[in-house]
Amino acid sequence: MEFDNTLEVPLPPAEAWRVLLDIRRIAACIPGAELTEVVDERTYKGKVAVRIGPVALSLVGQARLEEVDDAGHQAQVRAHGADPKGRGSTDSVIRFRLEPAGDATRVLIHADVKLAGSIAQYGRGAGMIQSVASQLIAQFGETLKSRLAESASGGEEKPAAGAAQPIPGLTVLGKAAWDSITRGAEKPPSKP
Amino acid sequence: MGLDHARGGEAALEAVKPAPFEYHAPRTVEEAVTLLAEVAPRDGRVLAGGQSLVPAMALRLARPAHLVDINAVSGLDRLRVEAGDLVIGACVRHAAFDRPAAGGPLGTLLAQVARHIAHWPVRTRGTFCGSIANADPASEWCLLAATLDATMVARSVRGARAIAAAGFFHGAMATALAADELLVEVRVPLLAADARCGFSEFSRRAGDFAIAMALATYRLENGVMTDARVGIGAVESAPRRVGEAEAALNGKRPGEDAFRDAAAAVARAAAPVGDIRYPAGYRRDVAAAMAQRALEGTVP
């Protein structure tokens, strides 16, 4: 299924672009996401916990940044995830494009999500997946916005990548993700 | 099936469908919320009627590690009128609304809506509050709660809080409830004695999830409609009131013209989700037709 979404980032496009490509920072803002391994500067392993009503899924897999166009501020992420309990898997291609919106940036997101296995039959199809996706994106946008605000009020010049302490007000999942990133900090830092 | 039963005995007992879970049966709301605070972070779920949760568990789609069964909690099965609201406890079954549960138009409306929920055996187990907490986009009770501005009362170890319907439904199967909160009751405001209401739902077979549904109420003042409410369900990811359709009714005489305008407003305002069976455009058409039929049903 294909669907579109938008997101506002309170930064000019050039800065927003840098923040959005800082995958370790971004992963910590995705609700339920946990980055487990940085394979190389474009490939990341992790898991995402998604809850659709009574069904709590954990999708484990890999995401790869592709077709990064620094000048045009667009990129795509190809992701594969599978449920360790065998309830299904997903293959997704998500395209991002940034465009200026006043002083801020609008992120245009186009997702092509393929689901397989019994999760594909659950929830009567595409509508529910789209709803979950737009909630995830909205929550991600809120978290990112409050992180950026905190970085700004913290007197740092620009949003610092990987500030090594959890920020108050995170959800349990967000905190877990953040912890996993700070724990993973022994790995060679990889900034795109 | 037949052969399995014939073999019977131990083999049948071993054929357990759900993944292993720990079962808790609290007796009071305090016990229930204390348990929930403990097990919710480890995917502990509330079990009320079980008509959505248990089938998902049988398919092993849902694999909760803990179930907090609230059926034995005293006081949750109460259905009462209090301060202008019909107060529906967490364990009140759909079947309780089969006959008018409250005086006036609300009781009649609830009985009319309840008949569309699945089938009789499901209605004898499934609960009103369970439907609200599950927040299926096609839930009749969620549409009713959104249209009539019901109030959801949630309890947790942190205390009780009341959540207005306008801020409760976040999306498909997503609500304002935290994982450790128990929806103890829903308060539905009673309708005025002279309120008119109508409900219409379309599905291919009786008892199926709706493709679209609509609920409408208004009062008459000097022959024109006032306090109009039009809600749509199963159309978008969550049920909601359609202000544009309500505006098309207020101040007008009830009748074909106003109803057609309101239905057209629903068609314009709705942002339906499409799926493999029902494209968004089709759902939009059905939503408008349901709004019109719900309104036609208001005329005695």
Say whether residue A128 is in contact with chain B using an 8 A CB cutoff: yes
- As a whole number of angstroms, the longest Cα–Cα distance in chain A is 49
Q: Which residue has the higher pLDDT, B126 or A67?
A: B126
- Give the whole-number percent of chain A exceeding pLDDT 90: 4
CA-CA distance, A172 to A164, in Å (whole number)? 17
Q: B79-189 has which CATH code? A: 3.30.465.10
CB contact under 8 A, A127 and B136: no
**Residues of B with CB below 8 A from A173's CB?**
none
What's chain B's length in residues? 300
Report helix, strand or coil for A87.
coil
The b/e string for A75-109 (b: 16+ C-beta within 10 A; e otherwise) is bbbbbebbbeeebbbbebebbbebeeeeeebbbeb
Please give the model's pTM, rounded to 2 decimal places. 0.83
In this prediction, residues A63-78 reach a mean pLDDT of 88
Report helix, strand or coil for B105.
helix
Say whether residue A52 is in contact with chain B using an 8 A CB cutoff: yes
Q: Are B52 and B138 in contact (CB under 8 A)?
A: no
CA distance A175 to chain B (A): 13
The total of structural domains in chain A comes to: 1
A 10 A CB-CB count for B46 gives 27
**Residue A191 included in any domain:** no
Q: Which residue has the higher pLDDT, B200 or A181?
A: B200
How much is the pLDDT for B44? 94
CA distance B216 to chain A (A): 24
Q: Report the mean per-residue pLDDT for chain A.
A: 74
What angle (nearest 5°) sits at the alpha carbon of residue B207, between those of residues B203 and B209?
A: 55
How much is the pLDDT for A123? 59
* Burial of B203 (C-beta count, 10 Å sphere; 0-12/13-18/19+): middle
Say whether residue B64 is in contact with chain A using an 8 A CB cutoff: yes
ipTM of the prediction: 0.73
Residues A81-133: tens digit of each pLDDT: 999 988 888 888 988 888 988 888 888 888 888 888 888 777 565 667 777 77
Tokens 């109420």 map to which residue?
B217
**B61 vs A55, A128, A131: nearest CB:** A55
Answer CATH for B20-69 from 3.90.105.10, 1.10.1060.10, 3.90.180.10, 3.30.43.10: 3.30.43.10
Tokens 């319907």 map to which residue?
B165
Closest C-alpha among B179, B88, B183, B170 to residue B137? B170
How much is the pLDDT for A155? 44
Q: Are B70 and B26 in contact (CB under 8 A)?
A: yes
Say whether residue A124 is in contact with chain B using an 8 A CB cutoff: yes
CATH superfamily of B197-296: CO dehydrogenase flavoprotein, C-terminal domain (3.30.390.50)
CA-CA distance, A55 to A38, in Å (whole number)? 29
CB contact under 8 A, B209 and A124: yes
How much is the pLDDT for A181? 34
**Residue A28 included in any domain:** yes
CB contact under 8 A, B134 and A132: no
Q: Please give the residue range of the domain that contains residue A42.
A: 2-186
> Chain B window 125-144: which residues touch A at a Cβ cutoff of 8 Å?
134-138
Residues A137-170: tens digit of each pLDDT: 888 888 888 877 777 665 443 433 333 333 223 3
**Residue A192 included in any domain:** no
The helices-and-strands tally (H runs, E runs) of chain A is: 5, 7
- A vs B, Cβ pairs < 8 A, gives 74
Give domain limits for chain B: 20-69, 79-189, 197-296
Q: Does an H or E element contain B170, and which?
A: strand B169-171
Tokens of B62: 């849902």
CA-CA distance, B236 to A145, in Å (whole number)? 27
Say whether residue B45 is in contact with chain A using an 8 A CB cutoff: yes
CA-CA distance, B55 to B207, in Å (whole number)? 16
Task: Select the residue from B59, B142, B173 to test the A interface by mutation, using most A Cβ atoms within 10 A.
Answer: B173
User: What CATH number does residue A82 fall under?
Assistant: 3.30.530.20
Say whether residue B172 is in contact with chain A using an 8 A CB cutoff: yes
pLDDT in tens, chain B (300 residues): 344 444 444 555 566 789 999 999 999 999 999 999 999 998 899 999 999 999 989 988 899 999 999 999 999 999 999 999 999 999 999 999 998 988 899 999 999 999 999 999 999 999 999 999 999 999 999 999 999 999 999 999 999 999 999 999 998 888 999 999 999 999 999 999 999 999 999 999 888 889 999 999 999 999 999 999 999 999 998 999 999 999 999 999 999 999 999 999 999 999 997 777 888 899 999 999 999 999 999 998
How much is the pLDDT for A154? 56
**Residues of B with CB below 8 A from A124's CB?**
138, 209, 275
How much is the pLDDT for A156? 44
A 10 A CB-CB count for B44 gives 21
